[in-house]
Structure 1
Amino acid sequence: MLLPVIMAGGSGSRLWPLSRTLYPKQFISLTSKNTMLQDTIERLDGIEHKYPFIICNEEHRFIVAEQLRQLSLSHSGIMLEPVGRNTAPAIALAALQSIKEHDDPLLLVLAADHVIQDQPAFIKAVETAKQQAELGKLVTFGIVPTGPETGYGYIKRGETHGSGSYEVERFVEKPDLVTAKEYVSSNNYLWNSGMFLFKASRYLEELKAHRPDILAACEKAVIGSVNDLDFIRLDKGAFVECPDDSVDYAVMEKTKDAIVVPLDAKWSDVGSFSSLWEVADKDESGNVSHGDVLTQATYNSFLYSQNKLVSTVGVSNLVVVETKDAVLVAHKDKVQDVKSIVNQLKMQNRIECQQHREVYRPWGSHDEIAEGERFHVKHLVVKPGESTATQMHYHRAEHWVVVQGTAKVLNGEDSYILGENESTYVGIGSAHKIENPGKVDLHLIEVRTGNYLEEDDVVRLEEYGVGY
């Protein structure tokens, strides 16, 4: 049986300000109404498979769970990496866990942040790869190039190995433009997609032969893992000691059983705004527009509005991205350098590289509306049946106004219900929490007042995930 393994880690810094460290591109709707993670799972329709197994960073766990819940998508487990250690260890974790729970399945390893527009072609390639994987081969999917791309690694295919598959002659690093043109014109090279299909046991055999140190660390991490609701928490101490390496370097470039299946399915890893522009629908002027956008004499540009009107006049080949707390303007040919802006933000310890103004929590979200020297105003949304953690503050008081739904409030020793247009006051040092006992989202306006208003002024009296 086929077990999809979806790797949902990564930060996607080249798509800043849409993508942030705590809310990277795989959790954003970029090319459809669904997020990229949701599209990756729904793309499996038409393939006989077990529920997908998902690996993500621990700090993204509630985002993953919520996005699965939104579309009622089932899963075989959500494994949490306490630290990132690249793809070779991530796949090893999935292989070890899958053998423990599903005997020895075929693992279809997918990234959660790829675009594949031709689903039938994708399904056909997977079926071809299954035939080779069942014979013990380690299969990678090579993308049929559409041009001399210098941002991807390449795979040189060798002799035919069954219908629709080839032996891997060699993997090559990202080439310069002249070399990339030679590769494409030869018709013997494919882009390295980072997608794989093989038996769990075969991957572990090859990892043991070539990187036994990675396998040993992952075995310890899985042996010491514990289940926490929908999540599988690894032994952090064991996994921290695991070496960092990619599956290509650790296994695929060393094994003698590597097979490549060409994939021509309108694929993109959406690694930049220019690649996002390429795969998106365009108007008659070559523009991709999202949100409240007005243009005049504007051509071949990517224009994204999240919160405000974006208007352009007399420009071309631009990327303009507006979010609630940041604006990016870049030439479409220079978008690879967006990462340098992110690095500057990190050096200055600015929050804009970490998270959006609107922050998602297990119970809902909060969005900053206004800020002053002694006040913060936020918009809170609490999902039906959820509640914040019970907590208190030493330096701030809070005023809550219900604007939609019903709130059950714990305030000190009192518990009471607030309806729309009703409000309450929470004094400094008072234990409190908000619960939504209703069937619709609860919307509140929270006004913080005091001489210190930062998020670290909180004492949680009961733990609930990351709390609030």
Structure 2
Amino acid sequence: MPPILPLILSGGSGTRLWPLSREAYPKQFLPLVGDTTMLQATWQRAAPIAGGAPIVVANKEHRFMAAEQLRECGVVPNALILEPVGRNTAPAIAVGALQALALEQDALLLVLPSDHVIRDADAFHAAVAVAAEAAANDKLVTFGIVPTAPHTGYGYIKAAAGEQLVREVERFVEKPDQETAQSYLASGQYLWNSGMFMFKASRYIEELRRQQPAILAACEQALARGSRDQDYVRLDADAFASSPSDSIDYAVMEKTADAVVVPLDAGWSDVGSWSALWEVSDKDEAGNAHHGDVIEIDCRNTYAYGNRLIGMVGLQDVIVVETDDAVLVGHRDRIQDVKDIVGRIRRDGRSEASAHRKVYRPWGAYDSIDNGTRFQVKRITVNPGATLSLQMHHHRAEHWIVVSGTAEVTRGNEVILLAENQSTYIPLGVTHRLKNPGKLPLELIEVQSGSYLGEDDIVRFEDNYGRA
């Protein structure tokens, strides 16, 4: 039996869980269920049955978050492939399969989205063992979720009749209306389409070459013309962008004669909305699921998530989500319409659709705590041993005040050390760099002043993270 190699797809930047999930910090990097993030939980769930470290495909803008979160749970990926643009799942899986073959592993790829919840890991492992037998015999396996309700938000798979552990796929169907979903549930032949798959790397490439040669050619060129630096495999942007954008369902699974489905009953959810997250969360006797500092009086079937104190009185079927810069309140039956709020934010040119107030960087993070005309105040955290780029600004000066830790500051031709309560001034146009030489996080307050304070007013001369 070939080894099982998890291929984790982490390229999504969806905003259905706004305001917590945003383009720059999507849901797979958030601890929505439990203490670990969804990406970390995906790997931890697959690790006991994996034959090696995973291959991860991620958006290039999320590369540092993906690498750091995997490092936190003790794994260095076989490859962390960076997508310059999104091209849906068929190309993403193709570059993962090609990378597996380049590693001389014609492994059984276990393709897993990084943002799903599976409550019963043992049932998941049992289903993977069944799928592995079929995949080793050149089948292309998908996992179909045993439906618990006539859900209209999922696509469905019609499986051949019977009680076999592996069934032939008769057809894939789009999201149905309520009446059609009821008939699917009653028939016993339909399963929810999970978006999880298993097959030999070579078998997927063979099928893609037959069904979608343009996708395969673009992905081969993207890898051949790409580059590897640090822990990343960077795809060539022009080559990858030339690939047709298509899902694996449309590109391969609906066309192949070798598609089979393994039923999975393991407490699965794709956490596609706040109401879905409420469904998979632990609840009190009144059906309330709360995360954070929440005081509720006479509430039923509510969901609340936030950092600050949230008070709720006399509410039923209501979602409340609080972040540093936004609050969402909505009825559970309408909460999927949050996408319309995000659309309006984008049309208004506001940043809340794409980024949080706190922004993570490979060296740490910064939080924009105040701003106005010609000034901005940030709280900056620099990880132990981390260094920001050697840089210069054309339009702003900066004042740095150390709150805790030690700062090594390069300012022009001088290098100085600052301790707690000490400060320095970086004039406009002066080359500078900030480093944390200590073993504890460096916390400082930065006050910017000038005619333009945008993040694009940075000229990098040297950078440890390949951004210069």
TM-score (norm 1): 0.97
Could you tell me how far 1:160 is from its partner in structure 2?
A: 5.4
SS, match of residue 399 in structure 2: strand
Structure 1: 4+ residue segments shifted above 3 A: 463-468
Aligned mate of 2:42, from 37, 40, 43: 40
Deviates more, 1:264-273 or 1:411-420: 411-420
SS, match of residue 399 in structure 1: strand
Are positions 1:292 and 2:290 aligned together? no
1:12·1:271 contact (CA, 8 Å) conserved in 2? no
Are positions 1:189 and 2:190 aligned together? yes
1:160·1:167 contact (CA, 8 Å) conserved in 2? no
Alignment of 1:169-248 (within 5 A): 169-248=170-249
1:14·1:335 contact (CA, 8 Å) conserved in 2? no
Alignment of 1:38-437 (within 5 A): 38-159=40-161, 164-306=165-307, 308-437=308-437
1:396·1:451 contact (CA, 8 Å) conserved in 2? yes
Could you tell me how far 1:284 is from its partner in structure 2?
A: 2.1
Deviates more, 1:132-141 or 1:406-415: 406-415
SS, match of residue 14 in structure 1: coil
Q: Report what 2:24 is aligned to.
A: 22
Deviates more, 1:326-335 or 1:368-377: 368-377
| Superimposed CA distance per residue, residues 160-181 of structure 1 (whole angstroms, 9 cap, x where no aligned partner) | 59x5111111111110000101
Q: Report what 2:13 is aligned to.
A: 11
Distance in structure 1 (CA, Å) of the matches to 2:466 and 2:359 = 12
Q: Using the aligned pairs only, state the percent identity.
A: 56
SS, match of residue 391 in structure 1: strand
SS, match of residue 43 in structure 1: helix
2:377·2:448 contact (CA, 8 Å) conserved in 1? yes
| Superimposed CA distance per residue, residues 233-260 of structure 1 (whole angstroms, 9 cap, x where no aligned partner) | 1121111110000000000011111110
Distance in structure 2 (CA, Å) of the matches to 1:75 and 1:394 = 39
Could you tell me how far 1:427 is from its partner in structure 2?
A: 1.3
Could you tell me how far 1:54 is from its partner in structure 2?
A: 0.1
2:94·2:219 contact (CA, 8 Å) conserved in 1? yes
| Superimposed CA distance per residue, residues 192-242 of structure 1 (whole angstroms, 9 cap, x where no aligned partner) | 000000001111111111111111111111111211110001121111110
| Superimposed CA distance per residue, residues 350-392 of structure 1 (whole angstroms, 9 cap, x where no aligned partner) | 1101110000001000001111223211110001111111111
Distance in structure 2 (CA, Å) of the matches to 1:141 and 1:188 = 14
1:361·1:467 contact (CA, 8 Å) conserved in 2? no
| Superimposed CA distance per residue, residues 72-124 of structure 1 (whole angstroms, 9 cap, x where no aligned partner) | 22211100010000001111111111111133111000000000010000000
2:112·2:197 contact (CA, 8 Å) conserved in 1? yes
Distance in structure 2 (CA, Å) of the matches to 1:394 and 1:204 = 49
The count of aligned residue pairs is: 466
TM-score (norm 2): 0.97
Aligned residue identity for 1:177: Q
Aligned residue identity for 1:171: F
Q: Report what 2:462 is aligned to.
A: 462
| Superimposed CA distance per residue, residues 125-183 of structure 1 (whole angstroms, 9 cap, x where no aligned partner) | 0000000000000000000001000000101111559x511111111111000010111
Could you tell me how far 1:310 is from its partner in structure 2?
A: 1.2
Q: Which runs of 5+ in 2 are unaligned?
A: none
Distance in structure 2 (CA, Å) of the matches to 1:107 and 1:467 = 32
Distance in structure 2 (CA, Å) of the matches to 1:170 and 1:369 = 53
1:368·1:377 contact (CA, 8 Å) conserved in 2? yes
Distance in structure 2 (CA, Å) of the matches to 1:87 and 1:127 = 23
SS, match of residue 204 in structure 1: helix
2:6·2:50 contact (CA, 8 Å) conserved in 1? no
Could you tell me how far 1:458 is from its partner in structure 2?
A: 2.1
1:361·1:466 contact (CA, 8 Å) conserved in 2? no
Distance in structure 2 (CA, Å) of the matches to 1:38 and 1:355 = 21
Classify 1:466/1:298 alpha carbon distance in 2 versus 1 (closer, same or farther; 3 Å). farther
SS, match of residue 46 in structure 1: helix
Aligned residue identity for 1:90: A
> What value does the CA root-mean-square deviation take over the aligned residues?
1.4
2:367·2:379 contact (CA, 8 Å) conserved in 1? yes
Q: Which runs of 5+ in 1 are unaligned?
A: none
